[in-house]
Amino acid sequence: MNGTLRTIGQEKMIASIKSPKQLEKFLQSDVTTTFLMMGTLSTLDRYVAHLKRENRTVFLHAERINGISLDRDGIDYLAKRVGADGIVTTKASVIQHAKRAGLMTVQRLFLVDSDAITSGIKMARDQQPDALELMPGLIPSVIEHVAEKVSLPIVTGGMIRKPIHVHEALNHGAFAVSTGDERLWSSQGTKEDII
């Protein structure tokens, strides 16, 4: 199994940050890794610098950054000028550019039907990202199926709203869970939270 993503910390929670208000809540939590899903070309470097000063690991959701091209130059800019640790993307070409730029890579897959699962597994095998993010996260049997087919850490997210959702994903093969629900950032999914 690819161990690169495992260096981000021992927690099983990744904060998906979609607004500046969530940024501050994230910094007040014990979670150390974020999928930053906001920003523009003019604000991104400040957000990332602020998070890095607080010793946080920052993955940028490539398609959610306004004003940047996702070609080789754009990805180099994110790696060298902005200082991101990695990217999250749905695009295979971005994975290749990011790997060349030295960024960790998370391939986001939307699993809407069996064809999407099959093509997603093939894409993961071909592109070899550092991890996969499966969307939506409320599909334990599919998480288990994909985990059996690829030797990559699986992150799952989307519609995760209760601690039991976190536990089900982790118990079925997910390495970590990403969520924008700040209430779950502090719980880290302890057993007491299920009840």
For residues 188 and 68, the model is more confident at 68
What is the rounded CA–CA span in Å between residue 144 and residue 140?
Answer: 6
**Average pLDDT value for residue range 129-133:** 93
Residue 86: strand pairing partners = 59, 104
Strands 154-157 and 131-135: parallel
> Is the Cα dihedral 61, 86, 178, 132 positive or negative?
positive
Closest CA to 87 of 113, 48, 49, 60: 60
What is the rounded CA–CA span in Å between residue 57 and residue 158?
Answer: 20
For residues 137 and 74, the model is more confident at 74
Instruction: Tell whether the model's pLDDT for residue 33 goes beyond 80.
Output: yes
What's the half-sphere exposure (Cβ side, CA atoms, 13 Å) at 186?
A: 6
Instruction: Tell whether the model's pLDDT for residue 122 goes beyond 80.
Output: yes
Tens-place pLDDT, residues 136-169: 877 888 889 888 999 999 999 988 888 999 999 9
Instruction: Tell whether the model's pLDDT for residue 27 goes beyond 80.
Output: yes
Q: Provide the pLDDT for residue 11.
A: 62
Instruction: Give the pair of three-digit tokens for residue 128.
Output: 């070899």
